[in-house]
Amino acid sequence: MSISPEVIKTKILILEDNPGDMLLIEEYLLEKFEKLTISHFSDLQSAMGAMDSGSDYSVCLLDLFLPDIGGFELVQKVKEACANTPIIILTGYADFSLARKCISYGISDILLKDELNSELLHKSILYAIDRFRFIKSLENAKQLYHSLFNFTPQPMWIYDDTTFKILNVNNAAIEKYGYTMDEFLSMTIYDIRPPDQIYQLEKRLSISKELRNEPFAGVFTHRLKNGERIQVEIFSSEISYEGQLSRIVLSNDVTQKLKYINTIEEQNNKLRRIAWTQSHVVRTPLSRLIGIVDLLEENPDEMANLQFWLQKVKDSAVELDQLIRTIVIESEALNIQNNEKL
Amino acid sequence: MKDIVLIIDDDPVYQLVVKSKIGKIEPGLEILCCEYGRLGLNKLETILNGYNSIIVLLDINMPVMNGWEFLTECETARLHDRQNLRIFIVSSSTDKSDVNDAGKSSLVSDYFSKPLSNTDLLRILKNGAMQ
């Protein structure tokens, strides 16, 4: 941030009741700013209207004591009215405790009238504008992250990594888990687990910090306020939240997905059963047929029992036929189920 | 002492075919047949000490006690210490997992898919005979 010659128009709001001071301030300003508009008011009452109507002032110069109101009360009123404008206080008295109070309240600068000159005022105004812009952009970024947190359709929360207390939750978490924000804030991450799953959480919390840096924590069972159990994929990451070492968590309900996978697994098992039947059961009469033919080829003596072996060949062929029919029926049943489920 | 072949299989036609084939390769070799594992186990116990060499041809898929259960029982009875016993799995399965499982058991000398060819039988009889 450097003090550069102002090329854009500077719009200054001045609240000052002393005509002599006002004259001096105006002079200092005209000396340094090329394009300048000044709106001047002598008391708060008359200034209120100007401040309300879409205040696009670059800066507000405020005398600490006006005829109708003064001191910190005045500062509060002006700050409220011009939330989007940096405020510089001009005062005749060096009251440090009040000065500190004002600065912590978000006032950009406090200048003593006795020490005022064009250089000092110019510098203070430019700094105030730049700094205010920077603070605003930080606030906007904070707002943006807050929105991202709140408007993502997946439940998220932040918890204290020492006490495991829940520090913040988003709207999706409130909707999914059924607890209100206040309820969440009085809970720990233990409270969203069914009692029989606490050991899973403790197992997870006991692993080393390095491993916990992996965003994907695994699939866990959580419990909603209404007692329903859900399967969730958990992603988490370390975060510094309002100065506390915390973790931000994203929870993705995969209950339905797991159900689908189970359905697919069941179908796979049926297919495996068919494959097994083919390997074991179908090959039984088939290998018997090959065995009989082999025997007749290799042992001519057995030709004496041809009638017997032919009957066995016929029996095996019928058995094979039956098995194949059964497999066809099973496969058809599998197809029908497929169409119903998908 | 003599050699003996114990066929444990629930398919009577298979039993006949194998008996006939062995009869051609080694006429006079004693052959016993059982329909399932439990019977095979009882038979095995009675002949265990009476023969120089016992060759078991074991099917997998059988009623009452299947081939795997038979092998487990043999292990419990510590039959793998028996120098005169050779067990060969002869199954209609060509399933890889069965072949792998067979490989895991220290009791199983080899695995064959049905039908047994003369070459297979020659290998079994040669392998099974005591040196």
**In this predicted structure, what is the pLDDT of residue A336?**
53
**Using 50, 70 and 90 to split pLDDT, how confident is the model at B9?**
very high
User: Which residues 245-264 of chain A have a CB within 8 Å of chain B?
Assistant: none
A119-138 pLDDT tens trace: 999 999 999 999 988 988 88
Query: Which of B11, B95, B118 is nearest residue A279 as measured by Cβ atoms?
Result: B95
Q: With contact defined as beta carbons under 8 Å apart, do A164 and A188 qualify?
A: yes
Q: Quote the minimal CA–CA distance from A325 to chain B in Å.
A: 19
DSSP labels for A29-42?
HHHH-SSEEEEEES
Interface test mutation site (partner B, options A276, A283, A310, max chain B beta carbons within 10 A): A283
- C-alpha span between A321 and A209 (Å, rounded): 63
Q: Quote the minimal CA–CA distance from A159 to chain B in Å.
A: 48
| Residue numbers in A near B116 (CB within 8 A) | 291
* CA angle in degrees (0–180, nearest 5) for A253-A158-A196: 55
Judged on CB neighbours under 10 Å (0-12, 13-18, 19+), B90 is: buried
**Using 50, 70 and 90 to split pLDDT, how confident is the model at B98?**
low
How many other CB atoms are there within 10 angstroms of residue A47's CB atom? 24
Q: Quick one: average pLDDT of B36-51?
A: 87
Which residues contact residue A35 at a Cβ distance below 8 angstroms, ignoring those fewer than 6 apart?
A6, A7, A8, A9, A10
- Is the ipTM reported for this complex over the cut 0.90? no
Inter-chain touch A288–B93, beta carbons under 8 Å: no
**In this predicted structure, what is the pLDDT of residue A1?**
44
Query: Which of A280, A299, A312 is nearest residue B92 as measured by Cβ atoms?
Result: A280
Inter-chain touch A288–B14, beta carbons under 8 Å: yes
Q: Which residues pair with B32 in a beta bridge?
A: B6
**In this predicted structure, what is the pLDDT of residue B83?**
82
Inter-chain touch A279–B61, beta carbons under 8 Å: no
Inter-chain touch B114–A291, beta carbons under 8 Å: yes
- C-alpha span between A26 and A128 (Å, rounded): 18
Inter-chain touch A291–B115, beta carbons under 8 Å: yes
**Using 50, 70 and 90 to split pLDDT, how confident is the model at B128?**
low
Amino acid present at A305: N
Q: How many Å is the Cα radius of gyration of chain A?
A: 41
The answer, yes or no, to whether residue B43 has pLDDT greater than 70, is: yes
The answer, yes or no, to whether residue B131 has pLDDT greater than 70, is: no
Low-confidence ranges of chain A (pLDDT < 50): 1-3, 5-6, 339, 341-342
Query: Which of A275, A279, A295 is nearest residue B17 as measured by Cβ atoms?
Result: A295
| Residue numbers in B near A300 (CB within 8 A) | none
| Residue numbers in B near A298 (CB within 8 A) | 21, 24, 118
Query: Which of B17, B61, B98 is nearest residue A291 as measured by Cβ atoms?
Result: B17
Report which DSSP code applies to A280.
I
Inter-chain touch B115–A302, beta carbons under 8 Å: no
A304-317 pLDDT tens trace: 889 999 999 999 99
Mean pLDDT of chain B: 85
Inter-chain touch A287–B114, beta carbons under 8 Å: yes
**In this predicted structure, what is the pLDDT of residue A2?**
47
**Using 50, 70 and 90 to split pLDDT, how confident is the model at B100?**
confident
Q: Quote the minimal CA–CA distance from A339 to chain B in Å.
A: 30
The answer, yes or no, to whether residue B103 has pLDDT greater than 70, is: no
